[in-house]
A and B are shown apart, each in its own frame.
Chain A
Amino acid sequence: MEIKLWINDKLITDNVEPDMPMLEFLRDKGCLSVKRGCETSNCGLCTVWLEGKPVLSCTMPLMRANKKHITTLEGLRKEAAEFGAFLADEGADQCGYCNPGFIMNVLALERDIEDPTDEDIKEYLSGNLCRCTGYTGQFRAVKKYLAHKRSVKADE
């Protein structure tokens, strides 16, 4: 089937099998940050943005992205590095395998909820599993990052 879409603002046209999963399509197109951790929509590792909204690329039918914009971590290098530095400074990057999907969703949280409470943060990110950190270090990184962004904003 013909498909035309933007991956990280780059226009791609392709001919794909009708049942090509979005996740595998993105990896084929070189977006190797997108990871698969399960087959049942539970882990959040494959999180990408479709029209700016975080979705599960293992689940969302690829054809539904026709004429739309997908963003992966490859398209957010600067933001990823900025938040990632906070994660790294907690030692909470660990094995790193859940990081891309987690960071995609942290950046979505930042856009979606202004001044989130601790509960908001935990709830918004609860679909991102991590087995290394026990989440505590990730939580510290998110809090410090959001505080940093607020102070940058206040200075402007």
Chain B
Amino acid sequence: MNEYKAVNRPVRKKDAMALVTGKPVYCDDIAPKDCLIIKLLRSPHPHALIEAIDTSIAEKVPGIEAIFTYKDVPNNRFTMAGQTYPEASPYDRLILERRLRYVGDPVAIVAGENEKAVDKALKLIKVKYEILEPILDFTKAKDNAILIHPEDNWASLCPVGADNKRNLCAHEESENGDLEKAFSKCDVIVEQTYHTQANQQAMMETFRAYATMDVYSRLTIVSSTQITFHVRRIVATALGIPKTDIRVIKPRIGGGFGAKQTAIMEVYPAFVTYKTGKNSKLVFTREESQTASSPRHEMEIKLKIGATNDGIIRALDMYTLSNTGAYGEHGPTTVGLTGHKALALYSRAEAYRFVYDVVYSNVMSAGAYRGYGATQGMFAVESAVDELAHKLDMDPTKLREINITKEGDVMPAYYGETANSCALDRCLDKVKKMIDWDNKYPAKDMGNGKIRSVGLALAIQGSCISNLDVGSVALKVNDDGFYSLMIGASDMGTGCDTILAQMAADCMCCDVDNIVVQGVDTDSSPYDSGSYASSTTYITGMAVVKTCASLTEKIKKYGALLMGWDANDVDFNGKEVYKISSDEKISLKDIANSSMCNSTNALYASEGHASPVSPPPFMAGAVELEVDKETGKIELIDYKAVVDCGTVINPNLARVQTEGGIGQGIGMALYEDINYNDKGVTRSNSFMQYKIPTRQDICPVEVEFEPSYEPTGPFGAKSIGEIVINTPPPAIANAVENAVGVRIRELPITSEKIFRGINNED
């Protein structure tokens, strides 16, 4: 039975009714009407130098306020990656630059009174390009004679193995155990190469921000971002101005999924307003969001995995090549998850090795997308484990049962952390029952040209960046005893404001309605590294628990002071402070109101939290599908998922996270693919050419939870936001092999690839 009043309950999101009635709460809804409209002139070439640029005619267009080129911007390199300083991502950008590194790289910033004037001016800017040979194939980038970042002031602030003279954004090697010896014992080895494509997060609200100058002559940026505090630092670095001069505000945002963990475009309105003193805004078109943004890193993963005939996995060896594109945002960090997370599913193996390279190329810069490298690694590992099972002539779920990480196991690949909370075995067991695995595996001929099969995959993620992420909140008592919870984490629609209020409500023994929350403002919100790395529930949630404990002490002390009681003889039950040794009490209402009259006691607390560990959530996903033997077409029949995210703080929101992540994973598995032509131009430049699933493409999805209790998490909670995207690509690939014996190692799993496989082409 649930011991909590708010936690583990399906509380409605605090902003829900505003959202469903269409209230104007997003960036462009609240932007001042007099904003200058900003647009960017973009490079038509994947690799070029600006030889000459003439804006004189364009500037004469009536209504044009300013046009900026590389000649006008500071020479301060920076990264747009939303990461804790010093960032792992290299400082390899300028606001505008002579060298252009992908089709879409900004050439000029145009600001004017209206869109028509700006459009006209864009056409009148004369640019002469020196066209350079590009690197469009990332497998040829390392040590290529063509250098994408030859500049002298390129800088890597962290020891990530980067070298701009080798087109290398990061490199690392790690291993544990005697790999050679472990492989020598193996009876069966699978060694394959897996390829995962770049995907767009495709949140419904495109990138956007506006800037104004406030009454104190400070630059205020209102941005649709996941990284409110990092935006302040990024803009200050790019513009070369003090951080004191910048304030960043996050209103409601229309989805992020990691895309808005990079400050893709905030520097442009910031620069325009800084230069002109006028309000300005930049709203990316969908085309810009599709072609000049921060998609998932394309990766090629070579994986060798070996087992003995008894089904014991002995060794895993992974090499990942990751394509960071034109710039290095999140390049050095996403890649680590391919091995450090995915290999940790099978921590009982005697030895592992994990090596990676991250390379620059002349396509759009990659970034953070839900799953953050783990998704790519999981596709390789969970595909290879099925291949291994087939070679061993074993049911793949049996092979997993033998080898998966269990509670209490040390996970060498996962930085040697111990799985203190792990219900992966129960997740696997439950999902098998839900999909009726034992009766359905591997497949059934439906007699109508279709084969129906099942496929399964496991997943792991983290709950924060250990020893790095910081979450803090502040809580204060207001008139009559209601609370304001001030949060620095950026709710991007997932409901973290509500979840944190639920935790605070249980800590303060009150109703969730008694706690009010606000969006993020760097001037007034307590510091939070941001909403990414699945960290908000785990890290910021713990900050809530600590802050509430601290405020409770203050309330108790002040109540005792008011009543003249011994502070050690009182307790607080949410409504009143009472004396333990008698039945005397004073209400919170009286305490709160007294604190506002001739009082020197601020009933206010703020605590921060960081964690030395990042406890992984675990998950099992299983798909049932049909393959049309004649066309290779897949029809999804059912998807079942069981998640161990520790204590489920809000079952409704956790369920929707899971369903939504599976939906995105299905898109990635089946058709989403950022496609370039041989000139380096993205064909996937709209929702017409880059198809995300519609509701007709999603089969019924059933989600269950199999909670463990994480001792270091708030109320025993871990994370859920990212792990949920990881199972569909390998589960579907595995089901396809179970259906028609075709193994697809290159995403997306299209009908055509399956058809070719069935007919032994390629």
Contact status A129-B696, CB under 8 Å: no
Closest beta carbon of chain A to B398's beta carbon, Å: 30
Contact status B17-A135, CB under 8 Å: no
| Total interface residues in chain A, CB < 8 Å | 52
Assembly CA distance A95 to B27 (angstroms): 13
Which residues on the A side are within 8 Å of B700 (C-beta)? 136
- Indicate if B655 sits at the interface (CB-CB under 8 A): yes
Beta-carbon contacts of B9-39 to A below 8 Å, as 1s and 0s?
0101101111111111110010000000000
Closest beta carbon of chain A to B218's beta carbon, Å: 27
Closest beta carbon of chain B to A40's beta carbon, Å: 4
**Closest residue on chain B to residue A28 by CB atoms:** B33
Assembly CA distance A123 to B697 (angstroms): 10
Given contacts A43-B286, A98-B254, 7 further A-B contacts (CB under 8 A): A96-B15, A97-B493, A131-B202, A131-B204, A133-B659, A135-B694, A136-B656
Which residues on the A side are within 8 Å of B659 (C-beta)? 133-137
Known contacts A81-B21, A125-B695, A134-B661; is-contact A97 B495 (Cβ 8 Å): no
List residues of B (659-694) whose CB comes within 8 Å of A's CBs.
659-664, 666, 686-688, 692-694
Which residues on the A side are within 8 Å of B18 (C-beta)? 96
Closest 8 interchain pairs by CB?
A95-B493, A33-B22, A84-B20, A134-B663, A96-B19, A97-B254, A91-B652, A88-B16
Partner of B493, one of A35, A43, A96: A96
Contact status A73-B21, CB under 8 Å: yes
Assembly CA distance A132 to B21 (angstroms): 18
Beta-carbon contacts of A113-142 to B below 8 Å, as 1s and 0s?
000000000110111111111111111000
- Indicate if A90 sits at the interface (CB-CB under 8 A): yes
- Indicate if B205 sits at the interface (CB-CB under 8 A): yes
Known contacts A38-B686, A95-B492; is-contact A73 B13 (Cβ 8 Å): no
| Total interface residues in chain B, CB < 8 Å | 57
- Indicate if A71 sits at the interface (CB-CB under 8 A): no
Contact status B656-A91, CB under 8 Å: yes
List residues of B (627-669) whose CB comes within 8 Å of A's CBs.
650, 652-653, 655-656, 659-664, 666
Assembly CA distance A85 to B659 (angstroms): 20
Partner of B29, one of A32, A38, A136: A32
- Indicate if A61 sits at the interface (CB-CB under 8 A): no
- Indicate if B507 sits at the interface (CB-CB under 8 A): no
Partner of A90, one of B17, B285, B652, B696: B652
Which residues on the B side are within 8 Å of A32 (C-beta)? 22, 24, 29
Contact status B21-A133, CB under 8 Å: no
**Closest residue on chain A to residue B20 by CB atoms:** A84
Partner of B20, one of A80, A128, A130: A80
Closest beta carbon of chain A to B256's beta carbon, Å: 8
Contact status B205-A132, CB under 8 Å: no
Contact status B17-A43, CB under 8 Å: no
Contact status A88-B17, CB under 8 Å: yes
- Indicate if A103 sits at the interface (CB-CB under 8 A): yes
Assembly CA distance A119 to B710 (angstroms): 41
Contact status B204-A37, CB under 8 Å: yes
User: Do most interface residues of chain A lie in helix, strand or loop, or is the interface mixed?
Assistant: loop
Known contacts A84-B17, A91-B653, A139-B695; is-contact A40 B660 (Cβ 8 Å): no
Known contacts A95-B253, A95-B254; is-contact A88 B686 (Cβ 8 Å): no
User: Do most interface residues of chain B lie in helix, strand or loop, or is the interface mixed?
Assistant: loop
Assembly CA distance A134 to B182 (angstroms): 42
**Closest residue on chain A to residue B698 by CB atoms:** A135
List residues of B (696-753) whose CB comes within 8 Å of A's CBs.
696, 698, 700-701
Contact status A129-B252, CB under 8 Å: no
Closest beta carbon of chain B to A152's beta carbon, Å: 19
Which residues on the B side are within 8 Å of A88 (C-beta)? 12-13, 16-17, 20
- Indicate if B203 sits at the interface (CB-CB under 8 A): yes
Contact status B21-A97, CB under 8 Å: no
Closest beta carbon of chain B to A118's beta carbon, Å: 9
A interface with B by C-beta (< 8 Å) = 32-33, 35, 37-43, 45, 72-74, 77, 80-81, 83-85, 87-100, 103, 122-123, 125-139
B interface with A by C-beta (< 8 Å) = 10, 12-13, 15-26, 29, 201-206, 252-255, 257, 285-287, 492-495, 650, 652-653, 655-656, 659-664, 666, 686-688, 692-696, 698, 700-701
Closest beta carbon of chain B to A14's beta carbon, Å: 16
Partner of B285, one of A39, A94, A134, A139: A39
What are 11 sample pairs from A and B whose C-beta atoms fall under 8 A apart? A35-B26, A40-B688, A84-B20, A85-B17, A88-B20, A95-B493, A96-B18, A96-B19, A97-B26, A99-B20, A135-B659
Closest beta carbon of chain A to B255's beta carbon, Å: 4
Contact status B660-A134, CB under 8 Å: yes
Assembly CA distance A72 to B22 (angstroms): 9
Known contacts A94-B660, A97-B254, A100-B22; is-contact A129 B692 (Cβ 8 Å): yes
Assembly CA distance A94 to B687 (angstroms): 21
Partner of B494, one of A38, A92, A94: A94
Partner of A133, one of B19, B29, B660: B660
Which residues on the A side are within 8 Å of B16 (C-beta)? 84, 87-88, 93, 96
Which residues on the A side are within 8 Å of B655 (C-beta)? 91, 137
Which residues on the A side are within 8 Å of B656 (C-beta)? 90-92, 94, 132-134, 136-137
Known contacts A38-B687, A90-B656; is-contact A45 B204 (Cβ 8 Å): yes
Closest beta carbon of chain B to A79's beta carbon, Å: 10
Closest beta carbon of chain B to A31's beta carbon, Å: 8
Contact status A133-B10, CB under 8 Å: no
Contact status A89-B692, CB under 8 Å: no
Which residues on the A side are within 8 Å of B495 (C-beta)? 91, 94
Partner of B687, one of A40, A80, A122, A133: A40
Contact status B663-A135, CB under 8 Å: yes
Partner of A95, one of B204, B287, B661: B204
Closest beta carbon of chain A to B761's beta carbon, Å: 33
Closest beta carbon of chain B to A100's beta carbon, Å: 4
Assembly CA distance A43 to B691 (angstroms): 10
Closest beta carbon of chain B to A91's beta carbon, Å: 3
Contact status B694-A93, CB under 8 Å: no
**Closest residue on chain A to residue B687 by CB atoms:** A42
Assembly CA distance A78 to B695 (angstroms): 26
Assembly CA distance A137 to B659 (angstroms): 8
Contact status B24-A81, CB under 8 Å: no
Closest beta carbon of chain A to B433's beta carbon, Å: 20
Which residues on the B side are within 8 Å of A40 (C-beta)? 286, 686-688
Contact status A132-B652, CB under 8 Å: no
Closest beta carbon of chain B to A128's beta carbon, Å: 8
Closest beta carbon of chain A to B372's beta carbon, Å: 17
**Closest residue on chain A to residue B16 by CB atoms:** A88
Assembly CA distance A91 to B498 (angstroms): 11
Known contacts A88-B12, A131-B257, A133-B663; is-contact A99 B19 (Cβ 8 Å): yes
Partner of B696, one of A35, A123, A130: A123
Contact status A43-B20, CB under 8 Å: no
Which residues on the A side are within 8 Å of B15 (C-beta)? 96
Assembly CA distance A96 to B29 (angstroms): 13
Most-contacted residue by chain B among A97, A130, A133 (CB, 10 A): A97
**Closest residue on chain A to residue B10 by CB atoms:** A91
Contact status A129-B22, CB under 8 Å: no
Assembly CA distance A134 to B202 (angstroms): 13
Assembly CA distance A136 to B655 (angstroms): 10
Closest beta carbon of chain A to B113's beta carbon, Å: 14
**Closest residue on chain A to residue B494 by CB atoms:** A94
Contact status B257-A136, CB under 8 Å: no
Partner of B686, one of A39, A81, A94: A39
Which residues on the A side are within 8 Å of B663 (C-beta)? 131, 133-136
Most-contacted residue by chain B among A37, A89, A126 (CB, 10 A): A37
Which residues on the A side are within 8 Å of B653 (C-beta)? 91
Assembly CA distance A40 to B691 (angstroms): 12
